Structure formats: structure tokens, C-alpha cells
């Protein structure tokens, strides 16, 4: 049951390029009474930075609500941060204020919004404004189709076990391995074991100004990469044209 007419929005702001924010997302952000987003311990927010131009054009009475979460701390502390944030958000919703949570990529694709929605949705209406995911952005930047005709695709986290990653690489034509940078040395070995290292492309910060693309996996060093990165694996032989 809703506690009022106000709405809690999960707003996807896309992968990094501000021009990839949808018209609907921009409208919701501009008109929200409160805009909240995740910040790290240094006060930095990827989602806020993506939406800076939109925020600059928002209504004058708009209030921002940063939520500090360090990904280096244990899950117990992260859950406490979400608990506290949800209490504050619900308080604003009870006052009849619309709240927009900015989420890089899409809110329901590994998005932080999911954990707030889980705490708030039973008491308050939540609406999702979808955004372009990192996988779609990577595909575009690499000019590589994700799937063609009968091809199958899997999206898997780099945190998965070796066995699960190898099984996925064996079973699916296209595989996107997310958050690949911190696990690069391990993932490179798994790709070699699966004989798919020569079918792999690597991208960091897709559509950001500091984007980096490596299309030949052998050129990657043994060093780790950033969190915002992925590996895209596609078959060499693809059915671009068939009878």
C-alpha cells in the first residue's frame, strides 16, 4: 500500500556519455523534488557526474541526497547504509515529495537502486526509467553485434567461480563478463583454457572520455583493470548472411 501520491523513481542515466541519457530520464530528474545517488568515501558519484548537465537545468527548489557507500567494506555495513538511506527516502516520500535515484546504466541491471527498491516498494510505489546498459554500450563502441540469428548470449559476473565461467564460455556463442578489470589475470587464463581468448575484446569505461579498448587480448598485461570494464566474447564465424 502506498503511503502517498509521491513516487520513488529509479532513473538509469546510461553508461557514461551524458548524451545517452533518455529524454524521459532527463524530464524525471529535472522535475524531482529530491535527487539521490551513491557517492564513494571521497564524495564522488559516477551517476551524478553523468547527469550534471541535466541537474544544472533542474527546478530551483530541488534537493540532493548523496548516499555514501564504500564497496571495499563488508556487506553488513553496505546493508546498513541502504537501511539508513531508505528511512530517509521514505520520510521524504511521506511528505509528498517525488524522489529520483540516479543509477549508472540501467537501474535493474546490477544497479544500486535494486537494494533500495527492495526496502521501499512494499510501502511506496516505485517506477523504473530504463537506461542503456554497459553491455549495450560496449557492443556499440566495439561495433560488435551481441547476437545474430540463432546465437545465444549469456551475461556473467567476473565474481563467478572458474567452473561456472568455463561452462558459460562453452555453452554460449556470446558472453559478456562484467566487472572484468579486477579479475583480469584470472579471466585471461580461463579464456585461454576455453580456447576463446582470440574471440575476446576488452573495454574500460565504455562511452566515458577515458574509454579504453583492447581488441587483441594478448596485448593486455597481467595487471588488473578498473571496476567499470567488461570482456565481450563472440564467435569468429557468424551468420551475417545465410540462405
Burial of 186 (0-12, 13-18, 19+ CB in 10 A): middle
C-alpha dihedral sign at 2, 85, 127, 100: positive
Are 127 and 28 contained in the same domain?
yes
- Residues in CB range of 93: below 8 A, 6 or more apart: 3, 4, 6, 7, 8, 99, 120, 124
Task: Look over the chain and give the mean of its residue pLDDT values, rounded to a whole number.
Answer: 93
Are 125 and 146 contained in the same domain?
no
Are 112 and 178 contained in the same domain?
no
Are 123 and 179 contained in the same domain?
no
The average pLDDT across 32-48 equals: 95
- Residues in CB range of 225: below 8 A, 6 or more apart: 180, 181, 182, 184, 202, 204
Residue 3 scores a pLDDT above 60: no
Domain end: 113, 132, 151, which one?
A: 132
C-alpha cell at 33: 523534488
Are 112 and 213 contained in the same domain?
no
Are 141 and 179 contained in the same domain?
yes
Has residue 68 been placed in a domain? yes
pLDDT digits (tens, 9 = 90+) for 103-136: 999 999 999 999 999 999 999 999 999 999 999 9
The average pLDDT across 186-207 equals: 97
Task: Residue 173: give its domain's CATH number.
Answer: 3.30.950.10
The total number of structural domains in the chain stands at 2
Neighbours of 74 (CB within 10 A): 9
Are 60 and 173 contained in the same domain?
no
Has residue 240 been placed in a domain? no
pLDDT digits (tens, 9 = 90+) for 47-103: 999 999 999 999 889 999 999 987 665 788 899 999 999 999 999 999 999 999 999
Domain interval for residue 59: 8-132
Q: What whole-number distance in Å separates Cα of residue 111 and Cα of residue 116?
A: 10
Residue where the block lists cell 540462405 = 243
Are 207 and 139 contained in the same domain?
yes
User: Length of the chain in residues, anyone?
Assistant: 243
Q: What whole-number distance in Å separates Cα of residue 51 and Cα of residue 36?
A: 12
Q: What is the CA radius of gyration of the chain?
A: 20
CA angle 11, 15, 17 (to 5 degrees): 105
Q: With beta carbons less than 8 A apart as the criterion, state whether 5 and 99 touch.
A: no
- Residues in CB range of 80: below 8 A, 6 or more apart: none
Q: What whole-number distance in Å separates Cα of residue 202 and Cα of residue 232?
A: 6
Are 109 and 148 contained in the same domain?
no
Amino acid at each position: 500500500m502506498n503511503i502517498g501520491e509521491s513516487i520513488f523513481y529509479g532513473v538509469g542515466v546510461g553508461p557514461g556519455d551524458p548524451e545517452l541519457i533518455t529524454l524521459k530520464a532527463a524530464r524525471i530528474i529535472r522535475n524531482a523534488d529530491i535527487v539521490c545517488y551513491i557517492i564513494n568515501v571521497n564524495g564522488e558519484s559516477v551517476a551524478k557526474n553523468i547527469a550534471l548537465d541535466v541537474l544544472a537545468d533542474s527546478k530551483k527548489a530541488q534537493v540532493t541526497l548523496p548516499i555514501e557507500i564504500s564497496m571495499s567494506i563488508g556487506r553488513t555495513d553496505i546493508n546498513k547504509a541502504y537501511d539508513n538511506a531508505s528511512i530517509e527516502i521514505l520520510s521524504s516520500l511521506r511528505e509528498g515529495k517525488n524522489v529520483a535515484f540516479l543509477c549508472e546504466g540501467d537501474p535493474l541491471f546490477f544497479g544500486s537502486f535494486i537494494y533500495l527498491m527492495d526496502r521501499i516498494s512494499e510501502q511506496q510505489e516505485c517506477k523504473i526509467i530504463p537506461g542503456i546498459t554497459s553491455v549495450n554500450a560496449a557492443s556499440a563502441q566495439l561495433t560488435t553485434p551481441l547476437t545474430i540469428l540463432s546465437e545465444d548470449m549469456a551475461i556473467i559476473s567476473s565474481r563467478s567461480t572458474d567452473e561456472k565461467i568455463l561452462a558459460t564460455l562453452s555453452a554460449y556463442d556470446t558472453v559478456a563478463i562484467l566487472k572484468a578489470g579486477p579479475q583480469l589475470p584470472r579471466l585471461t587464463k580461463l579464456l585461454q583454457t576455453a580456447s576463446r581468448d582470440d574471440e575476446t575484446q576488452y573495454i574500460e569505461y565504455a562511452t566515458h572520455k577515458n574509454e579504453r579498448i583492447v581488441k587483441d587480448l594478448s596485448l593486455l598485461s597481467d595487471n588488473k583493470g578498473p571496476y567499470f570494464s567488461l570482456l565481450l566474447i563472440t564467435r569468429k564465424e557468424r551468420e551475417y548472411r545465410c540462405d
